[in-house]
A and B are shown apart, each in its own frame.
Chain A
């Protein structure tokens, strides 16, 4: 960003990497995949690099309003310094915080989650999804992130991206507005869960695996016996190619990947971010 400023130019969009995107080894791959897409389509973008700092989301959810506002003010000062107007980010938590909670502190920006951004690129024909890995016939299920879905009503963009991959998109029973949390939101990412029967991410992974496997019996077992809940049973699994749990959030990524590992299903179930799927479909794998 400072390079742009030095040249007296302004980028089209600021890519907000987020702490997970910058530090989490798994999510760094998502950051790079998204940057490759930006490069590929020739979007004039910038990142803040070392000038970026936590949005304050985990502090706010945990109740530390003071720390949140300190972080927010600092970021708003940075944004104002570079005259930032449009921000894209791969993290629903950063997205929600900057979009919804910064305005009360004087920071008003157009904030876009990367799923919406990718959908726009696909709609505009700037991403054509040919030349790379083909997903035809592979089973993909999308895990809705709370801070994308219920928090901001974004349900269709990630699905539109996955549909463009021409994969076999299957829905979990608890999806969209009824989606089940991965268990990491509200600052749970940084603490041990309270005692209980099992961890939330295991419950969610079981549901995702049962959906991908087409195992109606397992689904019914997980979801208890609330009556009036009989839906269509998913078709049995057709091929042995590995299935995919698609996510659009670094926390969901960690929680679902841990869950798959816990269930010892890494051999045939992978967890990918939307940006990674699009990048590899475009042949942008490094």
Chain B
């Protein structure tokens, strides 16, 4: 083993170790959420994961971004095979160890080169969509502050840099072999065109090849550790998030079992509230209705927050947001993540909070600083009451995030714990209680519609 191998081993161990450490903290954050019924067909969940996460089914509602995204996604998958080779080469001082596979290796390297070139084009297109004077509408919005904007661009810059390093490595390697009249396994359709750009000096070429190699692998390890700080974490979290997505009809809202027991006990005095299967050291049953803070949400809702790409497809179809109201489903999800990292671990080595005071949220004068929780500290009641529960945001999300669940849980807290519904809704509640209808009509008039109708039976 050379000194280079040992350095490489340390770099790789540090890279993956740091990543594991960050992931553990995120796992801990998510596990602060409430338990959730996860019953349901595993087969159906796997099918969903295959279609939505691997197959990108929901991306294809818009063809242009879907194709660009597909290029980067497939590029990511193929480059992972190459990373395996780089790690083996780096550890055992081999060179292009997979080269023995012959035809397969030709296909692999050629695919890799073409995809990498396409990725650079796609990244440029993404950059243009975000940064030209009039960017795509969904990339703007009150929640898209300094950090989310910088984050989005950083990802593009890093991806472009990784691809450039890859081409530097391949081109220099190819030219070095040409100069030395040696055989290099693999096919290099793009690098073959670029060899003219490099000098003929063998030493320089070797240095350039090593430079590209190191920048590429170290860049990948740095990017890996940047992910937990970034919306780009979706490339990992999208898969579990889709697997654990709701299997019920979208119109079905969760039942609050503790209330069911109360109502049944009220209607039938003999009803026995079943005692929950208490296990040693288990947390006491939730004592609040609805959600005031992140730990009142289900863990799946917290998982959503780490799977969100901040793409804004939810907000761009939200009827409330479209008509200028405060609600933005994306903001609810982003707020959940920010609050989680404020309250529990900020597992991040690149702490976005360090990026200036307005990095993640503005000085929130309209927000309640006394009750600094998710509700009121981040999300205002005005946002929540603007929701029409139409499920457009749920339908739009490419990775099956459900902002509506969080909105309803927070509404439940406002109504059941604080009696803080808008007055007109309180009127509606009392109408239902007193008249059995949300309007102030007498129950005895309920059959009046039939007066103007001749019917045989009434």
Interface positions of A (Cβ within 8 A of B):
3, 17, 19, 21-24, 28, 31-32, 35-36, 39, 46-47, 49-50, 52-54, 56, 58-67, 69-71, 73, 77, 96, 100-101, 104-105, 146-147, 150-153, 177-181, 183-200, 202-204, 224-229, 286
Contact = CB atoms under 8 A, between A and B. Distances in A.
Given A21-B449, A62-B415, A191-B424, A184 B256 contact: no
Nearest first, the 8 closest Cβ-Cβ pairs linking A and B are A151-B251, A197-B324, A63-B411, A186-B389, A53-B436, A196-B324, A181-B390, A100-B252
B392 interface: yes
B445 A61 contact: no
A191 B422 contact: yes
Interface of B: 61-65, 129, 134, 136-138, 248-253, 255-256, 259-260, 262-264, 266-267, 289-290, 316-317, 319-320, 322-327, 382, 385-392, 394-395, 408, 410-416, 421-422, 424-425, 427-429, 432-433, 436-439, 441, 443-450, 452-453, 455-458
Contacts of A202: 323
Contacts of B289: 65
Given A58-B432, A151-B249, A203 B322 contact: yes
Given A19-B439, A22-B437, A224-B137, 16 more contacts: A35-B455, A46-B457, A50-B444, A59-B429, A63-B414, A65-B259, A146-B392, A150-B390, A151-B251, A181-B319, A185-B390, A186-B390, A193-B386, A194-B326, A203-B319, A228-B63
A147 B390 CA distance: 7
Contacts of A54: 432, 436-438
A105 B429 contact: no
22 contacts: A21-B449, A28-B448, A35-B450, A53-B443, A59-B428, A61-B253, A64-B429, A65-B289, A67-B429, A67-B432, A69-B259, A70-B263, A70-B433, A71-B436, A96-B249, A101-B253, A146-B388, A177-B395, A186-B387, A186-B390, A225-B137, A286-B453
B437 A194 contact: no
B137 A150 contact: no
Nearest to A64: B415
Given A63-B414, A194-B325, A50 B319 contact: no
A53 B129 CA distance: 52
Nearest to B258: A65
Nearest to B441: A23
Contacts of B250: 150-152
Contacts of B136: 226-227
Contacts of B63: 228
A62 B428 contact: yes
